[in-house]
């Protein structure tokens, strides 16, 4: 009789485990879909948060594999909401980066154009102003070429969808353009023609 009771308890435990396996499996599937949906944007804009999300999913999967179906179900059920939070963070980061890009796009081309005109004017002079020599003009031309190429690379990166890369490149362009501008500020204005 006691043996029958123990066997009955074992069967009951197996049935209970089998009954909780299906909901846990379904919850993991829903969680995997939610994570797959946020992956492209989240990996690009908030990789740390996305890594934390995938780690939580791996933990839920490990509980399932260890036959802790209740723990797996609880962990998996929280993942879609976490995925939504990660997606919101990614959208906010993307918006912030787009604003930075818009600011740079609004100011850098005008700065580059102004430098181009100033260096072009210096290069066209027959007699350079006092304190300016041909080597300085050539250095300025080379720096301007770097600035122009950098801005083109930043614009290309933005067009290709690499907003983070575009902003980094544009930041380099801004630094170089400001250095060139500072160098040219030291150049005295040409004397008015008589």
Give Rg (Cα) of the chain.
31
Residue boundaries of the structural domains of the chain: 11-92, 93-185
Grade residue 9 by pLDDT with cuts at 50, 70 and 90: very low
Q: Packing angle between helix 134-159 and helix 69-124, nearest 10 degrees? A: 150
pLDDT tens for 74-119 read 998 999 999 999 999 999 999 999 999 999 988 888 888 888 888 8
DSSP letter assigned to residue 160 = T
pLDDT tens across 26-55, in order? 888 998 999 999 999 999 999 999 999 999
CA 130 vs CA 72, 83, 140, 144, 188: distances in Å: 78, 64, 16, 22, 7
How many other CB atoms sit within 10 Å of the CB of residue 160?
A: 10
Task: Give me the residue label for tokens 């919850």.
Answer: 27
Full-model pTM? 0.70
Q: For residues 4 and 184, give the distance between their C-alpha atoms in angstroms, rounded to a whole number.
A: 96
């Amino acid at each position: 009789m006691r043996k029958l009771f123990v066997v009955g308890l074992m069967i009951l435990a197996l049935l209970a485990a089998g009954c909780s396996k299906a909901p846990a499996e379904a919850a993991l599937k829903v969680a995997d879909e939610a994570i797959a949906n946020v992956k492209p944007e989240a990996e690009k804009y908030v990789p740390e948060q996305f890594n934390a999300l995938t780690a939580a999913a791996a933990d839920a999967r490990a509980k399932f594999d260890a036959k802790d179906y209740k723990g797996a179900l609880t962990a998996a059920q929280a993942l879609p909401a976490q995925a939504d939070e990660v997606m919101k963070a990614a959208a906010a980061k993307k918006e912030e980066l787009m604003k930075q890009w818009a600011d740079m796009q609004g100011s850098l081309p005008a700065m580059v154009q102004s430098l181009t005109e100033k260096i072009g004017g210096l290069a066209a002079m027959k007699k350079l102003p006092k304190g300016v020599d041909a080597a300085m003009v050539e250095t300025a031309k080379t720096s301007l070429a770097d600035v122009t190429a950098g801005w083109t690379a930043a614009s290309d990166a933005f067009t290709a969808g690499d907003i983070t890369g575009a902003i980094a490149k544009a930041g380099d362009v801004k630094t170089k353009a400001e250095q060139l501008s500072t160098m040219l500020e030291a150049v005295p204005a040409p004397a008015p023609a008589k």
